[in-house]
Structure formats: structure tokens, C-alpha cells
Amino acid sequence: MGDAALTVNEALYNFDLIKLYLNFLNSIVDSQGADGAVPDTVPFSDGDYPSDPNWGTALPTIAWQLYRHYMDDQVLCV
């Protein structure tokens, strides 16, 4: 998830990937734990360690970059 968050701006600038990223955001939301924690990978496979908060920043980072590129409020409602 970290790679997706780090490259989203460049990817959106060069390619029309809104559908791909919206699908990815929905997958992240579907994989969230009951406490709202975001997993390290999506789809999540069980692991021995809790998720690293740095990887979880992919959710707001990608949503914000989609909003910046497309100016569509709906992407912030994912």
C-alpha cells in the first residue's frame, strides 16, 4: 500500500486511473478492522504483527490526490 500512496500523484498525472484507485480505496475500506485500523496489505492476510500506521496512510493520501486531480467530492466519501 505504501507504493500506491507514494506514486499516486505521478500515476494520476500521466494516466487516467481513477477507476483503479477508487476500486483500491474500496478494497482498503472493506479490509479495515472493527477498530478502523487499516491493514498493511489489501487484501489482508493474517499476520503476527499489528499494522504499521505508515502503510495505513495510503487511504487518506490516495483519496486526497484523487480529489486534487478530479475535483470530485465523491472520492472523499469512500
Read off the pLDDT of residues 20-64 as tens digits, 9 standing for 90 and up.
999 999 999 998 888 888 888 887 777 655 677 788 889 999 999
Q: Of 45, 2, 42, 44, which Cα lies nearest the Cα of 23?
A: 42
pLDDT in tens, 5-29: 999 999 999 999 999 999 999 999 9
Q: Which residues of 18-42 are buried (b: 16+ CB within 10 A; e: fewer)?
A: eeebbebbeebeebbeeeeebbbeb
**pLDDT given for residue 42 in this prediction:** 85
Task: State residue 30 phi and psi, 5-degree precision.
Answer: -65, -25
- The pTM of the full predicted model, rounded to 2 decimals, is 0.85
Q: Give every CB contact of residue 65 below 8 A, 6+ residues apart in sequence.
A: 8, 9, 12
